[in-house]
A and B are shown apart, each in its own frame.
Chain A
Amino acid sequence: MKKRSEETLETPITPMIDVVFQLIIFFVVSAAQQNDLIDLSLNLAQAKDVSAVKKNDPLTVTINVHEDGKVNIALQEMTMPQLRHVLKSTVAQYGNRVPIVLRCDKRALYREVDKVMAVVGEAGLYRVRIAAVAGGKD
């Protein structure tokens, strides 16, 4: 009889560890995905003669500009005053050498790009690049 009560007190450790590992893997993987949110809905223009970027400066701020003029950073939509605020705080924190990459939809009017560039220039940032899909040559 005594032996039986000892048996019921045992906790099944192995499946518990299995579940915990599952959770750990899930959270680690989903957290890593948060870091590089890329707006895949944009249709970038083709650049035939420029080779693809291999390594990006980790400080780079990527600004996405949609055809309708909507602007977002890491999928978070922003108005121009918000963008100005974000860029100004970036400059305050990291200086004005932070590279800016503009990912613009190829159908977007230059007017929309110009608005963003004006805000970027106003914040004092000058390392500006326009993103395109690298084609063919590498």
Chain B
Amino acid sequence: MAKQRQTEVLQVPMAPMIDVVFQLLIYFVLTFREEIPEAHLAVNLPSPDSRPPTPDVKPPQLLELTILPGEVQIQGRSHSWQSVQETLAYLGKIDDQQTVIIKTSIMARTEEVVRVLDLCKAAGLSKLNLVTLR
């Protein structure tokens, strides 16, 4: 009699435990989402106001970048990516508050635009204006 009682006490109720474990498993599988670190690059767009800008007043510091398919120009001169990075870093050190106009060809890839924006941010330049070349 005593022996039988001991074996009964040692039994663990497996079925409800498995129930609970499955519940937890289903919950975590359903709520799992891979977190992708996403960066957001702020740009200024041309104002929807279509009045032509006054031609006489020119902002003091204007840095003009042009993105063509597979090519980047700074103030009209073509540069390699390495040189773009160095030039922007140099210009950013001089004045990081200068206005940057990024003229983008419609045939350029988004990847190139993001790369230029990224390099500008890295150089500390924050006044980025995106203009489309047609």
Contact = CB atoms under 8 A, between A and B. Distances in A.
Nearest to A32: B31
Contact of A134 (B38, B46, B106, B119): B38
A45 B106 CA distance: 17
A45 B115 contact: yes
Interface residues of A, number: 43
Contacts of A122: 48
B37 A129 contact: no
Q: Which of B31, B107, B115 has the most CB of A within 10 A?
A: B115
Contacts of A101: 40
Given A48-B122, A105-B110, A111-B106, A30 B30 contact: yes
A114 interface: yes
Interface string A91-115: 0000000000100111111110110
Contacts of A114: 104, 106, 132
Contacts of A32: 31
A53 B40 CA distance: 7
A133 B45 contact: no
B17 interface: no
Contacts, number: 126
A49 B119 contact: yes
Given A108-B109, A132-B38, A49 B118 contact: yes
A129 B41 contact: yes
B30 A120 contact: no
B62 interface: no
B42 interface: yes
Contact of A111 (B23, B107, B114): B107
A110 B133 CA distance: 10
Contacts of A45: 110-111, 114-115
9 contacts: A50-B122, A53-B40, A106-B111, A111-B106, A117-B45, A129-B42, A130-B110, A130-B117, A132-B40
Interface of B: 23, 26-27, 30-31, 36-48, 67, 104-111, 113-115, 117-119, 121-122, 130, 132
- The 6 nearest A-B residue pairs measured at CB: A49-B122, A52-B37, A45-B114, A134-B39, A106-B111, A129-B40
